[in-house]
Structure 1
Amino acid sequence: MELYTLLREFADSWMLLLLFCIFVGMMAWVFRPGSRKLHQDTANIPFRNDDRPAPDQEAKK
Protein backbone atom coordinates (compact mmCIF):
# COMPACT_ATOMS: atom_id res chain seq x y z
CA MET A 1 0.00 0.00 0.00
CA GLU A 2 1.33 3.39 -0.92
CA LEU A 3 2.01 6.01 1.73
CA TYR A 4 -0.28 8.51 0.00
CA THR A 5 -3.19 6.07 0.00
CA LEU A 6 -2.63 5.24 3.65
CA LEU A 7 -2.50 8.89 4.67
CA ARG A 8 -5.53 9.69 2.52
CA GLU A 9 -7.59 6.97 4.21
CA PHE A 10 -6.45 8.22 7.63
CA ALA A 11 -7.39 11.80 6.79
CA ASP A 12 -10.79 10.78 5.44
CA SER A 13 -11.73 8.81 8.53
CA TRP A 14 -9.97 9.37 11.85
CA MET A 15 -8.67 12.87 11.23
CA LEU A 16 -12.14 14.01 10.23
CA LEU A 17 -13.53 12.56 13.45
CA LEU A 18 -10.75 14.20 15.49
CA LEU A 19 -11.31 17.63 13.94
CA PHE A 20 -15.07 17.35 14.47
CA CYS A 21 -14.52 16.50 18.15
CA ILE A 22 -12.17 19.48 18.53
CA PHE A 23 -14.78 21.73 16.92
CA VAL A 24 -17.54 20.49 19.24
CA GLY A 25 -15.23 20.91 22.24
CA MET A 26 -14.41 24.49 21.29
CA MET A 27 -18.09 25.35 20.83
CA ALA A 28 -18.87 23.86 24.24
CA TRP A 29 -16.04 25.92 25.77
CA VAL A 30 -17.24 29.17 24.17
CA PHE A 31 -20.91 28.70 25.04
CA ARG A 32 -20.44 27.32 28.56
CA PRO A 33 -22.68 28.93 31.20
CA GLY A 34 -19.98 30.94 33.02
CA SER A 35 -18.43 32.59 29.99
CA ARG A 36 -21.10 35.19 29.18
CA LYS A 37 -19.67 37.82 31.56
CA LEU A 38 -16.15 37.33 30.21
CA HIS A 39 -17.29 37.67 26.60
CA GLN A 40 -19.38 40.76 27.35
CA ASP A 41 -16.44 42.38 29.16
CA THR A 42 -14.13 41.66 26.24
CA ALA A 43 -16.66 42.95 23.70
CA ASN A 44 -16.98 46.27 25.56
CA ILE A 45 -13.25 47.06 25.70
CA PRO A 46 -13.43 49.70 22.91
CA PHE A 47 -16.22 51.56 24.73
CA ARG A 48 -14.76 51.67 28.25
CA ASN A 49 -13.33 55.19 28.03
CA ASP A 50 -15.76 56.60 25.49
CA ASP A 51 -16.72 59.73 27.47
CA ARG A 52 -13.35 60.71 28.91
CA PRO A 53 -9.68 59.72 28.66
CA ALA A 54 -8.39 56.86 30.74
CA PRO A 55 -7.04 57.77 34.20
CA ASP A 56 -3.26 57.69 34.64
CA GLN A 57 -3.40 54.42 36.62
CA GLU A 58 -5.32 52.60 33.88
CA ALA A 59 -3.24 54.08 31.05
CA LYS A 60 0.02 52.72 32.53
CA LYS A 61 -1.14 49.09 32.49
Structure 2
Amino acid sequence: METYTAMRQFADSWGLLLMVLFFVGAVLFVFRPGNRKNAEDAASIPFREED
Protein backbone atom coordinates (compact mmCIF):
# COMPACT_ATOMS: atom_id res chain seq x y z
CA MET A 1 0.00 0.00 0.00
CA GLU A 2 1.34 3.39 -0.91
CA THR A 3 1.84 6.09 1.66
CA TYR A 4 -0.64 8.38 -0.08
CA THR A 5 -3.34 5.72 -0.10
CA ALA A 6 -2.82 4.93 3.56
CA MET A 7 -2.92 8.61 4.53
CA ARG A 8 -6.06 9.15 2.46
CA GLN A 9 -7.85 6.22 4.06
CA PHE A 10 -6.90 7.51 7.52
CA ALA A 11 -8.11 11.02 6.68
CA ASP A 12 -11.37 9.71 5.24
CA SER A 13 -12.16 7.65 8.32
CA TRP A 14 -10.49 8.88 11.51
CA GLY A 15 -9.29 12.31 10.42
CA LEU A 16 -12.80 13.66 9.97
CA LEU A 17 -13.86 12.24 13.32
CA LEU A 18 -10.90 13.86 15.07
CA MET A 19 -11.61 17.23 13.46
CA VAL A 20 -15.29 17.08 14.48
CA LEU A 21 -14.36 16.16 18.05
CA PHE A 22 -11.85 19.02 18.19
CA PHE A 23 -14.49 21.46 16.90
CA VAL A 24 -17.08 20.30 19.42
CA GLY A 25 -14.51 20.55 22.22
CA ALA A 26 -13.56 24.09 21.19
CA VAL A 27 -17.21 25.17 21.08
CA LEU A 28 -17.90 23.65 24.49
CA PHE A 29 -14.79 25.33 25.89
CA VAL A 30 -15.85 28.75 24.62
CA PHE A 31 -19.49 28.49 25.70
CA ARG A 32 -18.96 26.92 29.11
CA PRO A 33 -20.93 28.65 31.89
CA GLY A 34 -17.93 29.90 33.87
CA ASN A 35 -16.47 31.77 30.92
CA ARG A 36 -18.96 34.67 30.82
CA LYS A 37 -16.67 37.15 32.61
CA ASN A 38 -13.72 36.38 30.34
CA ALA A 39 -15.88 36.65 27.21
CA GLU A 40 -17.34 40.00 28.29
CA ASP A 41 -13.85 41.27 29.12
CA ALA A 42 -12.51 40.24 25.72
CA ALA A 43 -15.52 41.77 23.94
CA SER A 44 -14.91 45.15 25.58
CA ILE A 45 -11.24 45.43 24.55
CA PRO A 46 -11.89 47.65 21.47
CA PHE A 47 -13.87 50.14 23.58
CA ARG A 48 -11.25 50.68 26.27
CA GLU A 49 -9.54 54.04 26.35
CA GLU A 50 -5.80 54.24 26.52
CA ASP A 51 -4.48 56.76 29.01
Classify the TM-score, shorter chain.
0.7 to 0.9
Q: Which runs of 5+ in 2 are unaligned?
A: none
Identity %: 57
Give the greater-gyration-radius structure (CA): 1
Cα distance, 1:40 vs structure 2: 0.7
Determine the structure 1 residue equivalent to 2:40. Answer: 40
- Give the gaps of 5 or more residues in structure 1: 55-61
Whether 1:19 aligns to 2:48 is: no
Once the two structures are superposed, what CA deviation does each residue of 1:2-61 show, in whole Å capped at 9, x if it has no partner?
111111000111111111110000000000001111111111122232xxx52xxxxxxx
Q: Number of paired residues?
A: 51
| Large movers: runs of 4+ above 6 Å | none
**Root-mean-square deviation over aligned CA pairs:** 1.2
The normalised TM-score by structure 2 is 0.85
